[in-house]
Amino acid sequence: MRDEGCMVKITVMVYTTLRARLGFSRTELEGGTVHELLLKLAVSGMTDISKMLFEDDGAVRNHFVLTLNSELLDNRKTKKVKVKAGDILHVFPPVSGG
């Protein structure tokens, strides 16, 4: 495990199909980087969404859009993005209904 000092609590908001699978739209999780938080998110709801959220190589599937405090993130660099207490991470897929 990582150094406990790196762990901070942030809010994670999810949308559409993720909501249906996880059973919630908002949760609070602890972690040091966006990637750690997403790993926790994947196993924090009704169903395990790891396969839905991650590629086999562990990268976040590229049709999901990630924003941290309303700034778009690069899905391939989530391991490098550190979070601060109180940050808000949004995870949403595109939607197409009309």
Partner 1 sequence: MCLVTCMPLSRQESERYSRQLIVPGIGLRGQAKLKNASVLVAGAGGLGGVVLAYLAAAGVGRLGFADPGLLELSNLNRQIFYKTRDLGRAKVRLLASFLKDLNPRVRLEPLRLKLDSENLAPLLKKYGLVADCTDNFEARFELNKACVRAGRTLVHGAVYGFEGQLAVIAPRGGPCLKCVFPHMPPRLKGYTPAPGPAPGAIGAMQAAEVIKIICGLPHLRGRLVIYDFAHGAAHSVRLKRRRACGVCGKRDEG
Q: What residues are paired with 70 via a beta bridge? A: none
Minimum distance between the CB of residue 73 and partner 1, rounded to whole angstroms? 10
- Distant-in-sequence, close-in-space partners of 49: CB < 8 Å, separation ≥ 6: 18, 21, 22, 41, 42
Q: For partner 1, give the closer residue by CB, 15 or 54.
A: 15
Strands 8-14 and 88-92: parallel
Question: Is 56 near partner 1 (CB under 8 A)?
Answer: no
Q: For partner 1, give the closer residue by CB, 3 or 71.
A: 71
**Size of the residue set binding partner 1 (CB under 8 A):** 22
Question: Is 5 near partner 1 (CB under 8 A)?
Answer: no
Question: Is 15 near partner 1 (CB under 8 A)?
Answer: yes
- Distant-in-sequence, close-in-space partners of 47: CB < 8 Å, separation ≥ 6: 21, 22, 23
Minimum distance between the CB of residue 24 and partner 1, rounded to whole angstroms? 11
